[in-house]
Amino acid sequence: MADSLDVSALEAWVREFARSIAEHKDELTALDSAIGDADHGANMDRGMSAAVAALEASPPADPGALLKQVGMTLVSKVGGASGPLYGTFFLRMAGTLGPDPADDEAFARALRAGLDGVIARGKAEPGDKTMLDALAPACDALDAALAAGEPFGAALRAAAAAAGAGRDATVPLVARKGRASYLGERSAGHQDPGATSTALLLDAAVTALSGSAG
C-alpha cells in the first residue's frame, strides 16, 4: 500500500496548483477577457500565491487545517467570484477530511463535499458554462474509477481527463451564470475560464497525489 494522503501530500497539491495557475495566468485572463471581466488569471494567481505564502508563514499541522487555511486565504484574497467559489470548495474539503491523513475514498468524499459547496455557493447547474462543468464530471469519474477498483493514480487520471473533457465541452455553451451571462448568445464559442482553472486543479492532483493513498 502506498503512502496515505497526509498534510505534506496535500500541501504538494496546493503548491502544484499554485505553480500551474501562475504558468497559465495569461491564458486564463485571455479566456476571461473574451466573456468576462478579464481578471480570472490575475485573481487566481493572487489568491494561490497568498495561499502558498500562508503555508510558509504558518505551516498547518494536519490535512483539515491545511485546506481550511487555503480556503480562508482564497475567500479573502482572490477578489472575484472565484474567491468564494474556490474558497468554499477548500473549506468544505477541510470540513470533510478533518485532522487525519486520508485514504483514496476519503479524498473522493472530500472532493464531492467541495463540489457540493461550489453548487451551494454559486447556484449553478450543469451546462451553465461554469467551473461546475469540469468539477462535477471529475467527481463522478473519480468515484466510478475507485468503485471499479482502480488504483488511486489511475482514478485521479480519469478524474482529470473528465475535467478536461468538461472544460472543452463548455466552448459551445451559452453562459447562464456570472459576468459572462450578461453576454447571452455572444458567450458561445469561448472556453469557460473557471472550468479551465478547475481542470488545472485536477491535473495538479495527478501530478502531486498519484503516488499517494491506496
Partner 1 sequence: MARVGLVVVSHSRPLAEAAVALARQMLPSAEVAVEVAAGTDDGGLGTDAVAVSAAITAADSGDGVVVLMDLGSAVMSAETALELLDDDVRDRVVLSSAPLVEGLVGAVVVAAGGADRDRVAAEALRGLAPKQAHLDQ
By the criterion CB under 8 A, which residues form the site for partner 1? 39, 43, 46, 72, 75-85, 87-88, 91, 121-122, 178-179
In the chain the first and final C-alpha atoms are separated, in Å, by: 6
- φ, ψ dihedrals at 32, nearest 5°: -75, -25
Task: For the CB of residue 214, give the shortest distance to partner 1 in the complex, in Å.
Answer: 34
- Comparison of 71 and 101: residue with beta carbon closer to partner 1: 71
- Comparison of 19 and 179: residue with beta carbon closer to partner 1: 179
Distance CA 56, CA 98 (A): 21
Identify any residues that bridge with 3 across adjacent strands, giving them in sequence order. 212
Distance CA 166, CA 192 (A): 10
Task: For the CB of residue 54, give the shortest distance to partner 1 in the complex, in Å.
Answer: 12
- Comparison of 64 and 83: residue with beta carbon closer to partner 1: 83
- Comparison of 60 and 101: residue with beta carbon closer to partner 1: 60
Task: For the CB of residue 178, give the shortest distance to partner 1 in the complex, in Å.
Answer: 7
Q: Which residues of 137-165 are buried (b: 16+ CB within 10 A; e: fewer)?
A: bbbbbbbebbeeebebbebbbbbbbbbbe
Task: For the CB of residue 78, give the shortest distance to partner 1 in the complex, in Å.
Answer: 7
Which one, of 67, 52, 41, lies nearest residue 18 by Cα? 52
Task: For the CB of residue 143, give the shortest distance to partner 1 in the complex, in Å.
Answer: 26
- Comparison of 80 and 101: residue with beta carbon closer to partner 1: 80
Distance CA 102, CA 115 (A): 18
